[in-house]
Structure 1
Amino acid sequence: MNISRISRRTVVGLCAALVLSTAAWAQAASQVKFQTSMGDFTVEVYADKAPKTVENFLQYVKDKFYNGTIFHRVIGNFMVQGGGFTADMNQKPTRDPVPLEAKNGLKNDRGTIAMARTGNPNSATAQFFVNVVDNTGLNAPSPDGYGYTVFGKVIAGMDTIDKIRAVPTGRQDVPNTTILINSAILVK
């Protein structure tokens, strides 16, 4: 009989530990809500997978850097990119780049958010993109040998991203109609 009680206590204790562990994990994943001229979307970011990238991204959010920027590059069968240019296509000054964290196990699948960069793998600053399809060619190692750092995913408002991906574009994949990021705020 004592063994039964111990077993129940052990099971109850393990269940409580699991609930607390799950709650702690949920608290660790920050969420950012973007309000755009085409609707809202929310991303969840994973500091445990891309700590320097998430810290950098959240600092830009806290500094209200993204407010008033645009989605300046839209390729409907690839991705939508924003976070670096104002509506008059002036690039905003950024902080120093963050190191590449592409080998973190996260993939450039539909709905994930990743950092844009130049040919230099350690050049990501503020610009990000949302994958609108599975882009396996961007995973580490990609054809350039490095990949692109995925650091979160869209958890609400993928319909907004799909509206953005469908807009007509002109030269250099710039949308013909301005898609403004009114605000990006930390909601969790």
Structure 2
Amino acid sequence: MARILILIGYLFTSMVMAKNVAIDPNNLFPQVKLETSKGTIVVELDRIKAPITVDNFLTYVVTGEYNNTIFHRVIEGFVVQGGGYDKNYVPRKVGENIVNESGNGLKNQTYTIAMAKEHRPHTANRQFFFNMADNTNLDPGINWGYAVFGAVTQGEEVLEEIAKQKTDFNAELGWEDVPVEPIILIKATLLPAV
């Protein structure tokens, strides 16, 4: 099974490269800078343990698809979620769903980044979240978990500031935990390999 997932990851990388997206497949721990309206966060991704998820995330980064999106779900002590909507809550373009890599050994620990999904296991595509606590209930167990694919290396204080923002129920959208003041992901940038 692991060999199949790795093969799928390499095939996905090849497809990404074929679309003229500048992602270096030899960079096993790429770093991404996320400039938000509350400050800058840097994440280091783990392509060894989550190759499909990392390449999927990087595709959205290098094509500018995460620019000017919002963090639409914020729960202090739990998660900060974003990447799916613009500041008017209009859904952004969604690519294909990806294989769930939640069994890769990475845990939903504080300041890790993971993919959001529906209840079905292989439904992650573009939305991601930061764990704001050790969320062991999101790790795989009897059921599929949420795939962790990296961790914050800079900007933990920015995430803490985001997590403390006032939220409310948005009746128009039917969503809970929506920041009252929009928190914008202004720009996501793949940093040069070190």
Tell whether 2:177 aligns with 1:179.
no
Structural RMSD (CA): 1.1
C-alpha distance in 1 between matches for 2:141 and 2:188 = 31
CA shift digits 1:18-52 (9 cap, x unpaired):
xxxxxxxx952000000000000000000100111
Q: Larger Rg: 1 or 2?
A: 1
**1:55 matches 2:59:** no
SS of the aligned residue for 1:173 comes to strand
Matches within 5 A, 1:72-151: 72-141=72-141, 145-151=143-149
TM-score, normalised relative to structure 1: 0.84
Aligned partner of 1:34 in structure 2 is 34
Structure-2 separation of matches of 1:186 and 1:170: 33
The AA in structure 2 aligned to 1:129 is F
In the TM superposition, residue 93 of structure 1 has moved relative to its aligned partner by: 1.8
CA distance in 2, matches of 1:140, 1:28: 24
Secondary structure of residue in 2 paired with 1:174: strand
- For 2:50 and 2:27, locate their aligned partners in 1 and report how far apart those are by CA, in whole Å: 16
Structure number having the greater helix percentage: 1
Deviation at 1:120, TM superposition (A): 1.2
In structure 2, what residue type is equivalent to 1:65? E
- The gaps in structure 2 that reach 5 residues or longer are 1-25, 170-175
**Distance in 2 between residues matched to 1:51 and 1:40, nearest whole Å:** 25
**Secondary structure at the residue paired with 1:155?**
strand
Rounded to whole Å, the distance in 2 between the matches of 1:159 and 1:126 is 24
Query: Once the two structures are aligned, what percentage of the paired residues are identical?
Result: 43
SS at match of 2:167: coil
Once the two structures are TM-superposed, the CA of residue 91 in structure 1 deviates from its matched residue by 0.9
What is the SS of the residue equivalent to 1:183?
A: strand
Q: Matched residues in 2 for 1:141 and 1:50: separation?
A: 18
Indicate the SS of the match to 2:129. strand
- Out of 163, 166, 169, which is 1:168 matched to? 166
Q: In the aligned structure 2, how far is the partner of 1:102 from the partner of 1:141?
A: 10
Deviations 1:99-140 (A, max 9, x none): 100000000000000000001110001000000100000011
